[in-house]
Amino acid sequence: MDLPQAMVAAIGKLGQAHMAFVAEAYADLGSGPAKAKIIPIYTRIDSLAGESTSKIDCRNGCDFCCHYHVYATPLEIFAIAEEVQSWDPTKSGELGSKLRGYVSEVKGLGREGHIRANIACVFLDRGSCSIYPVRPLACRRHHSADREVCERTYHNPRSLEAAQQDKHRIVVSAAFETVHAEYHRYRGYDRDAYEFHSALLEALSEPIARQRWKAGQRAFRTVTDRTASQI
């Protein structure tokens, strides 16, 4: 997304203002629960984004965006894996089956094919996100001022129509995503973004993935759909 210079400057200023907060939250990043590291960041993002007075049309039960292709970074993935592992065995087992089905369904589609496939996220439950408190940054950043645009693009995935977004929320999310990546770079942790479902399946089935990440290696070796961080 090409942003006006004023917004780029605002993103940098906000990121610098919260750098110390992020560094404190991410201290000893490789030890302890991932959820304990990233939830304070999510809470701060949600609080700052909530200060906007712009109209947002998103609401509970509107789930068009829950059919998108989503990227997430390893720390986000590990936090969600911890959430799933806290569920009762029956519920987590069902989730595992859904994940394997999802990954199998998108295999061979390629990134562009996956984007247009409109496959529901495995955490979508009767119109709501079942991991809402730990949903990834990509999901937290998404918003729309016009639900009807979202519905039209859902039914026509090739459409280039885009709903108007709130500049304040864009600045907040971009600032924290930038600082998130900068801190990972500084500490030598993998900060690439991986296709969400495939990476989560590997995190749940191969605990060694987090050990690789702690060692400064690529976290998810089976996930080919990933985008390298530019920071």
End-to-end CA distance of the chain: 16
The two tokens of residue 44 are 């701060």
Mean pLDDT by 10 residues, the chain (231 residues): 85 96 94 95 96 90 91 97 96 96 92 90 94 95 91 90 91 96 95 97 96 96 90 76
How much is the pTM?
0.94
At residue 111, the pLDDT reads: 86
185 contacts 173 by C-beta, under 8 angstroms: no
- Residue 230, class by beta-carbon neighbours within 10 Å (0-12 exposed, 13-18 middle, 19+ buried)? exposed
Residue 60 confidence (pLDDT): 84
Cα gap 53→100, rounded to integer Å: 41
Distances (CA, A) of 44 to 138, 146, 201: 15, 25, 28
Predicted local confidence at residue 59, as pLDDT = 85
**Residue 1: what pLDDT?**
60
Say how far apart CA 183 and CA 188 lie, in whole Å.
8
CA distance 150 to 36: 33
Q: Supply the pLDDT for residue 33.
A: 95
* Number of domains into which the chain is organized: 1
Residue owning tokens 């509970």 = 60
Output the CA–CA distances (angstroms, integers) from residue 154 to 14, 99, 133, 161, 228, in the order listed. 33, 22, 25, 11, 27
Q: Give the integer Cα–Cα distance in Å for 40 and 118.
A: 31
Predicted local confidence at residue 3, as pLDDT: 82
Six token digits for residue 170: 């864009």
Domain of residue 185 covers: 5-227
Handedness of CA 8, 43, 198, 75 (dihedral sign): positive
Look at the chain and count its residues.
231
Q: Pairing between strand 193-195 and 71-72?
A: antiparallel
